[in-house]
């Protein structure tokens, strides 16, 4: 698949191994957004769920938003006029979410190295909605687990998880197993040792 190979090549060309466990792609997604990269990622993630109806594509602010939007654009080309909505969980509670009007879970930010909370308005995911959870990275799975818990609190059903990059040397995939939903990753990072980015052969799985 050309797009999947191109996504992996862009990560190899632009990514930097900051430590043995941290990969920086801030010229593609995490600081400066390369919209072509996001569009490629969205197209491939949408392909992973093309045989299922999606009501909501859920991510966490902020780096997952561009990929979620492009995923929705492709999904909605297939299932119009029943479009999927894009929802992002917030990392702080705005005054527009009143007491009793939201769900909240604890998580942990690897890049900020501190605990965070994720907030979701109780009105943005209807009960019974089918939800595709999308994010930029999968490492130990803390953010995606938190998003999964928010979906369950809202009464939704998790159709699948989709991530741009999966660090296969960490335990994130195993941590998500409790949800019983498939996981699709576009780039599988096998190692970042000694400043060298080692990627697995591209596969949508």
The pair of structure tokens assigned to 74 is: 């492709």
pLDDT at 59 over 90: yes
Asked whether the bond before 81 is cis by omega within 30 degrees of 0, the reply is: yes
pLDDT at 148 over 80: yes
120 confidence band (pLDDT: 50, 70, 90)? very high
pLDDT at 109 over 90: no
Range with the poorest average pLDDT among 16-25, 29-38, 107-116, 152-161: 107-116
All domains in the chain, ordered by first residue: 2-199 (3.40.50.2020)
178 confidence band (pLDDT: 50, 70, 90)? very high
Q: What is the mean pLDDT of residues 132-136?
A: 98
Q: Check residue 98 and give its pLDDT.
A: 87
Q: For every residue of the chain, which 3-state class applies, written as one string?
A: CHHHHHHHHHHHHHCEECCCCCEECCCCCCCCCCHHHHHHHHHHHHHHCCCCCCCEEEEECCCCHHHHHHHHHHHHHHHCCCCCEEEEEECCCCCCCCCCCEEEEEEEECCCCEEEEEEEECCCCCCCCEEEEEEEEECCCHHHHHHHHHHHHHCCEEEEEEEEEEECCCCHHHHHHHHCCCEEEEEEEEECHHHCCEECCCCCC
């Amino acid at each position: 698949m050309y797009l999947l190979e191109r996504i992996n090549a862009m990560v190899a060309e632009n990514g930097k191994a900051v430590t043995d466990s941290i990969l920086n792609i801030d010229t593609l997604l995490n600081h400066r957004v390369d919209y072509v990269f996001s569009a490629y990622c969205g197209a491939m993630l949408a392909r992973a769920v093309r045989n299922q109806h999606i009501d909501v594509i859920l991510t966490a602010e902020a780096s997952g938003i561009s990929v979620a939007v492009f995923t929705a654009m492709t999904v909605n080309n297939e299932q119009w006029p029943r479009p999927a909505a894009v929802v992002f969980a917030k990392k702080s509670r705005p005054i527009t979410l009143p007491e009793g009007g939201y769900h909240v879970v604890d998580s942990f930010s690897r890049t900020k190295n501190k605990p965070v909370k994720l907030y979701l308005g109780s009105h943005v995911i209807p009960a019974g909605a089918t939800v595709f959870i999308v994010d930029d990275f999968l490492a130990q799975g803390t953010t995606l687990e938190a998003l999964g818990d928010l979906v369950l609190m809202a009464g939704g059903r998790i159709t699948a998880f989709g991530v741009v990059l999966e660090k296969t040397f960490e335990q994130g995939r195993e941590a998500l197993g409790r949800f019983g939903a498939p996981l699709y990753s576009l780039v599988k990072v096998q190692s970042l040792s000694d400043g060298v980015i080692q990627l697995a052969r591209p596969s949508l799985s």
